[in-house]
Every structure is written in C-alpha cells, then in structure tokens.
Amino acid sequence: MAKSYKVPMNKTVLTFFLLCVAAVAATVTWSFNSGLTWTAICLIAVAGPLSAFYWYMLYITPKRATITVADEGILLSAPPFASAVIPWASVTKTMPVNLVTDEDFHAVKTKKFMHFAGYRSGIIEIKNNQEAVIVANRADVICIQTEERFYLLGPSDMEGFSESVNAGMSQMA
C-alpha cells in the first residue's frame, strides 16, 4: 500500500512573506502623495506581479512536493526541480544524514536547485563529484543511495517516512 508524505514550506515563512507584502503595499501607498492613480499603477505594475511570483515559489511549488513510498519503490515528485522513481531493487543503502553537520553531503555545486528558509529542492553535486537529488524541509534527512546518485529526502513526517522506508527495504531482503 502506497503512502505519501508532503514537504511543504514552513508556515512561519509564509506568514512573514504575507506581512512583508502588506508592508510594501502600505509603504507604496503612503509614499505617493501625488495621487491615487500613481499609487495604483505602482502597486499593479510592481508589487502585484512580484508578490504573485514569490507566492508561487514559496507556497505552490513546495506544497506540490510529495514523496510516495509504495511496494515497488519510492516516487519523488517535486516539480519543477526534482522528480524520480527509485525502485527498491536499485537501493544499495539507506542512512540518516544531517545536512548541516555532515560535510560529505554539503552542496559543492548546484544544478536545478531552490533553497529558502530550510526548504531545499533540486539537484546538487556533493563531495567526490557525486550527484544528489534533495527534497527536504528539514536538516535531518534519510539518504537513499543508489548506483547512480544519492537521494536526500526529508518530509514533514520524518518518523512515518523512516518506518515506511525501513519496511520497503525489509521487503527486498
């Protein structure tokens, strides 16, 4: 039976973002004494599109990120930065990793990657020029090693995810 795990952005970050948008809109409105027309033009032309873009990057994109653990393997979906199908037969090793303290897993080079306020998603190069796909909203992740790359996965429900991965690995043994 398949079980999905979400990897959303921290709600504090989203709340702070909305407060910043409100502050920018209030500042623009207050700073223009030349009339409501120029204020509206600036809000519509600048603040509106930028707010929509950042809202998409901070809310919509992380909200769509899911890690599904099934009998066949792991399905990783974190568009537009990372997606993969990891069959259990290709997994050589799993281990817990801390992205802050484990220097072997620090990003040396990034390819398609987003990192903002603890949320990480994309493809990176780690030490020894090895490729890693990362989707996490936390520093402690499960590293799933295959022949071709590492997968560093850290959903919100880490305990449940860890149990599901261990159950999937025990099926293959």
pLDDT in tens, the chain (173 residues): 688 998 887 778 778 877 877 787 777 667 666 666 766 777 777 777 777 777 776 666 777 788 999 999 999 988 888 888 999 999 999 999 999 999 989 888 888 888 877 888 889 999 888 999 999 989 999 999 999 999 999 999 999 999 999 988 887 66
Q: Please check whether residue 135 is in contact with residue 78, taking contact to mean a CB–CB distance below 8 angstroms.
A: yes
HSE-CB for 101 with a 13 A CA cutoff? 5
From 149, 138, 3, 131, select the one nearest 62 (Cα to Cα). Answer: 138
Task: Give the pTM.
Answer: 0.80
DSSP states of 44-109:
IIIIHHHHHHHHIIIIIHHHH-EEEE-SSEEEEEETTTEEEEEEGGGEEEEEEEETTT-GGGS-SE
